[in-house]
Amino acid sequence: MPDLSWPQTSTMRNEAQTRFELIDPILIDHCGWRRQDIKLEQTDPKIDIVRGKGYRRPAGRTDYLLYRPLSDGAMPVPLAIIEAKREGLPPEHGLQQGKGYLVGKLHHVPFVFSSNGHQFVEYNEETGIASEARPMSDFPSPDDLVDRYLEIRNLTKASSQLALLNTPYEKGREFLRYYQDAAIRAALEQVIQQIDEKKLPRVMLPLATGSGKTRLAAALLRKLFDAGRLGKALFLCDRTELRDNGLTDFQAAFGTDAAEVDTRNPQKNARVLIATYQTLDFSEGGENATFFLKHYPPGYFDVIVIDECHRSAWGEWHTILESNKEAIQIGLTATPRHIRVRPTDDVETTKGVAEDKKKLADNYNYFGEPPYEYSYWQGVEDGYLAPAEIEQYDIYHDDKIQSERVRGVYRADVKDKQLTDVLTGRPVPAEAVSEKTEGGSLESRLVMPERVKAMCDHLYERLLATGDRDPLQKTIIFCASDHHADLVTNQLNNLYANWCREHGQKRVQTYAFKCMSSANGQALIPDFRGRQRSHIIATTKDLLTTGVNVPCVRNIVFFRYLHSPILFHQMVGRGTRIDEATGKLMFRIFDYTGATALFGEDFITPPPSGDDGGEGPEPPPPPPRVKVKGVKIDIEHAGNFNLLGVDGKMRRVTPQEYQQRVIAELTELVPSLAEFREKWLDPAQRTELMQQLAQKGLLPEKLRDAAKIDDHNADKYDLFDILAALAYGIAPRTRRVRAERFDGGPDWLIRLPQPATKVIRAIVKQFENAGTDALEAKELWETPEIKKLHGLAALREGGEPSELMRKTKETLFVA
């Protein structure tokens, strides 16, 4: 065992040294863990949005895991997380941060340990109990942890079903992201428990759009096959695009033993069938499913995986499930459990909420509680999904007399306008207009050309402003109806044609286009996805909500009012994929209807009880569609928003709210200005402080967007002054003012040899230009101004460089 005598402060080990010099040797030499049982796994670097641009952090989250086979010769599975902290911190520190609890759930392990190399504490994910600190010599052995793992998961070594977990992945675990492996293990654990308890195996896995559900499904089916549990499998989806995309992943796992089903070929020789429910004759309901019932008798499938299982499984698809009751049935969905519904008296919205509630309740009634979930927020935190920046706008009619978001449009508001029938063009009386029109009816029943033009004009300018004056940004606009999509498409094409003419640019072949099922829109999706300089803006109602993988989409636009929180999350999901090939690391949401308020707060599915969620009231017969001309439209900025993870949910916050959150977390970590300054002077402590904030999803640099300091130009200040002014109330000084302290002094500098003095003043100039980061950058000594002064060599003439750098910072940041 290593020497565990308490060292002097000056020789305290950092986190990495604590892990490799203290924790690993004890685990291996004393507790019986093998070197191959101890692994480091790193996520992709998280993407932060700063000043409208996406930037990768230097590194992703690194997790320190213990692996062990559950049986001799089996595939090792992760059992525990170890949060290693530097030697100078108490052993509870990792759990105090709360990070360990979250990471344990993400990896689907029941145990999280935190250690400073001398002691450890244990957090049990199942019980929620944290232990007292104990010496590292008491750390559990591999056999002990395996036995405890099996007990917590309600598994036994004697179970014949344990092969489902023990069988290795055909392409290796490294082929999957950590959460995909965790989801598969969680699903298989539930299947084993259900089979052993003589229950029908049913599993639901909610994973965010873009998280790779199809690849996960293919790896899961292959694992079941290799474990001897799969004869025939069905992957069922409701879009041709999903079926075609899925075929690639399934053939990578099964070769020609995976095949698409169409109405001409049931592919009965293939082991894995990929089909849409329309192909199986379920578009009109289960009783007409002649193709399915003819070719696939009851009990034909051993495993059924339903993609987007919330959509129609309880109508069109239910016969498939009932016909294969004994099969392992797995439902995949991107719909989160926690969604918000704003109070409203709008009949259509109320009905949509009731429908969403029923769909979610049906899922949980049928499949039960999901054993694993992976949210969009977590995908952003892990660096696998693109973060979003939100711009919201309010729309007013006729000199702001009416605010549609609050009141809607009343008959009295339009009685003096030019009113015509949308279809015939004939005049109609004011009585043809509903007493009150709101939500989606503003675009479908009450058509206002000036409104369409104003919204398109405004959006086009925002696309140019946020895209470096480039109009060729892949964008999806969600419209209220087929006709609304036509109007928006035409207006955007006109704007683009005029812009090209004014700027001497050649027009692309297709700029804006309608992508609706009624317009054969699905056939245009490959062009939208694959052609970078054509098919730029897709207008749609809901064809592009699911089943469309277009990673290069940079903008999601809401011209449509939404009644369905489920639909909203699916629409946002079209922008969440990262596209390294085109440099897309983030996306924007342009919200003209208040849709993004649906982010975050709770709309909880009731527990399984058989309650169908109730029926929404029937809407009244629709009035005629009326065109209203002569309305003045004003569009006002209603705020920019960040998306921030709060308690495991994605919430929409203003820059000011973000600022308040940063300051609250900062002052909790560092209560006084003196302590903050001390940490800022030390690069290691400053880095740790920034990392602690980052673990909360907070990036202090973003405060420049909201901070108001003196002349309101936050760019003139170092981040030290921005944070210290907001959190501790100091009078901030610009970088220039702080650098001026070196113009004629200070005394300690004047007493140094001239070469060292010149170097320090050149270093201070770098601070004036770029702030603290410039002082700690590796490139500092390679800048021409410092390099020509012989940098470090000249500095050494005045003493130890690290001490002189410390003294320089102390002078810069003196109160």
First to last CA, the chain: 48
| Same-domain check for residues 276 and 414 | no
CATH number at residue 116: 3.90.1570.30
Quick one: pLDDT at residue 616?
52
Mean pLDDT for back-to-back runs of 10 residues, the chain (815 residues): 48 87 94 94 88 85 92 92 89 68 85 94 89 95 96 89 92 92 97 93 92 94 94 87 82 93 86 86 58 88 88 62 92 68 48 56 79 91 93 85 59 89 91 84 88 96 93 94 93 97 94 77 79 91 70 94 80 91 93 86 41 49 82 90 74 85 92 94 88 82 67 79 91 92 90 93 93 88 91 91 92 88
Per-residue pLDDT tens digits for 20-33: 999 999 999 999 99
Largest CA distance in the chain: 96
Tell me the CATH number at 523: 3.40.50.300
pLDDT of residue 6: 43
Among candidates 595, 8, 81, 627, which has minimal Cα distance to 342? 595
Q: What is the C-alpha separation between 813 and 681, in angstroms, rounded?
A: 8
Same structural domain, 684 and 775: no
Query: Is residue 239 included in any domain, yes or no?
Result: yes
DSSP code for 780: G
Asked if residue 425 is part of any domain, the answer here is yes
Pair (573, 706) in one structural domain: no
Q: Is the peptide bond before 746 cis (omega within 30 degrees of 0)?
A: yes
Q: Which amino acid is it at 162?
A: L
Q: Are 63 and 98 found together in one domain?
A: yes
User: For the purposes of burial, counting CB atoms within 10 Å of the CB of 711, is it exposed (0-12), middle (13-18) or buried (19 or more)?
Assistant: exposed
**What is the residue range of 146's domain?**
9-152
Same domain, 175 and 244: yes
Let me know if residue 349 belongs to a domain.
Answer: no
Looking at 718, 733, 748, which one is the last position of a domain? Answer: 733
Task: Round to whole Å and give the CA distance between 41 and 377.
Answer: 20
* Residue 71 shares a structural domain with residue 187: no
pLDDT tens digits, one per residue of 323-353? 899 999 999 988 765 444 444 444 455 555 5
Spell out the SS3 assignment of 632-665: CEEEEEEEEEEEEEECCEEEEECHHHHHHHHHHH
Confidence (pLDDT) at 474? 95
DSSP 327-376: SEEEEEE---S---------HHHHHHHHHHHHHHHHHHHHH-S-S--B-H
Look at residue 347 and tell me if it is in a domain: no
Provide the token pair at 391.
């711009």
User: Same structural domain for residues 46 and 194?
Assistant: no
Segment (H or E) for 629: strand 626-629
Tokens of 787: 């390099």
Residue 699 lies in a domain: yes
Residues 688 and 720 in one domain: yes
Output phi, psi for 217, to 5 deg: -60, -40
What distance in Å separates the CA atoms of residue 82 and residue 680, rounded to the nearest whole number? Answer: 28
Q: What is the pLDDT of residue 52?
A: 84
Parallel, antiparallel or unpaired: strands 633-646 and 388-397: antiparallel
The secondary element (H helix, E strand) that includes residue 202 is strand 202-206
Of 512, 471, 575, 513, residue with least CA distance to 209: 575
Between helices 683-695 and 655-669, what is the axis angle to 10°?
130
* Domain closes at, from 733, 768, 791: 733
164 domain-assigned: yes
The sign of the torsion formed by the CA atoms of 397, 402, 406, 410 equals negative
Phi, psi angles (nearest 5°) of residue 587: -140, 165
451 is a domain residue: yes
Coil, strand or helix at 241: helix
pLDDT of amino acid 643:
83
CA 135 to each of CA 111, 116, 138, 777: distance values in angstroms, whole numbers, following the listed order: 17, 10, 6, 39
Among the listed residues 157, 606, 577, 624, the one whose alpha carbon sits nearest the alpha carbon of residue 380? 577
The amino acid sitting at 601 is E
Strand-pair partners of 255: none
At residue 477, the 3 state secondary structure works out as strand
Statement to judge: residues 689 and 780 lie in one domain: no
Is 716 contained in some domain?
A: yes
CB 13, CB 117: distance < 8 Å:
yes
Q: Are residues 27 and 71 both part of a single domain?
A: yes
Domain edge (last residue) among 317, 334, 351: 334
Same-domain pairing of 728 and 741:
no
Nearest to 179 by CA among 277, 104, 284: 104
Place of tokens 């929620």: 128
How far is the C-alpha of 118 from the C-alpha of 90, rounded, in Å?
9
Residues 710 and 745 in one domain: no
Question: How confident is the model at residue 597, as a pLDDT?
Answer: 85
Round to whole Å and give the CA distance between 778 and 738: 22
Do residues 208 and 143 lie in contact, with contact meaning Cβ atoms separated by under 8 Å? Answer: no
According to the model, what pLDDT value does residue 203 have?
Answer: 95
Contact 347, 597 (CB under 8 A): no
Q: What is the mean pLDDT of the chain?
A: 85
Distance between CA atoms of residues 194 and 327, nearest Å: 12
List for the chain the helix, strand, coil content (%; round to 5).
Answer: 45, 20, 40
Tally the domains of the chain: 5
